[in-house]
Every structure is written in structure tokens, then in C-alpha cells.
A = this chain, B = another copy of it.
């Protein structure tokens, strides 16, 4: 018989397809093997078991998310950039709910995944640039923005919004809360604006 001609990427492609079509629980080596027309153990020639396959799918998804956010934020700043970034984040989750849900909940030591996650964080840090927040303030706000984006996306894709109110409007309101909050600064009297310096985008994580 002719060879299937698989590759690691092709296996991940199939895995993503299975994930999209049948959900996270259906992402099994057996299902991926069936889809690629190969016996289950053959997949081990391209991927080191289900764990690695899942991680690769997550890395790809996280990078897609980062790509989309990057594109959305480009050429914008401040409220405009924040709004675009948040919208891009949510739209990715809504368009690919299973991929979004498959992003790991637990700490995972995979460096590729960390790198992809960092890309998302970097975009958020970048879109906050225009606000001239001081050093650690940027981190706190970035964490807040990420939390808001993730929380909303997670709840909505999980079907958490049952009432008639339009979730789009709710999302607008969430963005508004942050925008307005940023305009006013912390409610205690601490300084939060730095006095105009340049910010480098070296490190990562938040």
C-alpha cells in the first residue's frame, strides 16, 4: 500500500479538525488516526503521545490568537487599541470555541506554549503603551485586561450568558469599565502615570 505521507504538522492539522468538529473530549489518538487514515500507533512516529499532541494544538491556537490580536491592534493606540485588542480576543474565542477551550488550564512547562502565551501578553503590554503607566502599574493593568478578556470569552463560550441581554453589549460595557477606569487611575492617590520614558518590550509573561 502507498504510504500516507504524514508529518507532525499534518497530524496537528487533523487534531485541530477533530477538536473543532467534535469537541475536546473527542480529541483522541484513535480519532486522529482514523482521520489521517493510519493506525493509531503510527502517530507516535510524528508526535510523542496524546499529551504532546494536545500541547501542539494549544500552541497553534495560542499563536493564532496572538496573530489576530496583533493585527487588530496595529496602527491604533490607547482606548482604540484596547478596544480592538479585546474585540479580537473575544472574536477568536467565539469563532473557535473548542480551540479556545483546549488552551491549558493548568500550569504547563512547555516552552513553545510559554512563548505563544508571551506573544499575547506582549500585545497587551504594547496596547497599554499609550497610557504611559509606570513600570509595575503596567503589569497590574495588563493582568487585569487579560483577566477580563479571558473571563468574558470563557464564560460566553461556555454558554454562561443565558439572559436576553445581548452579550455584545455586555462586552462593550466591560471594555468601557476598563477604559474609564484607566482614564481615572487607581482610586487611592498613588501615581500611576510615568513621566514620558521609552518602554522596551524585552521580557514576557505577566
Residues of chain A at the chain B interface (Cβ within 8 Å): 23-24, 101, 104-107, 117, 136-137, 139-141, 143-144, 146-152, 154-155, 158-163, 165, 167, 169-170, 172-174, 176-188, 203, 205-206
Contacts and interface: CB of A to CB of B under 8 A. Distances in A.
Interface of A is mostly: helix
B107 A159 contact: yes
A148 B187 CA distance: 18
Q: Among A106, A137, A147, A186, which residue has the most Cβ atoms of chain B within 10 A?
A: A147
A143 B167 contact: yes
Contact of A181 (B106, B170, B181, B203): B181
Contacts of A143: 152, 155, 161, 165, 167, 170, 173-174
Contacts of A205: 161-163
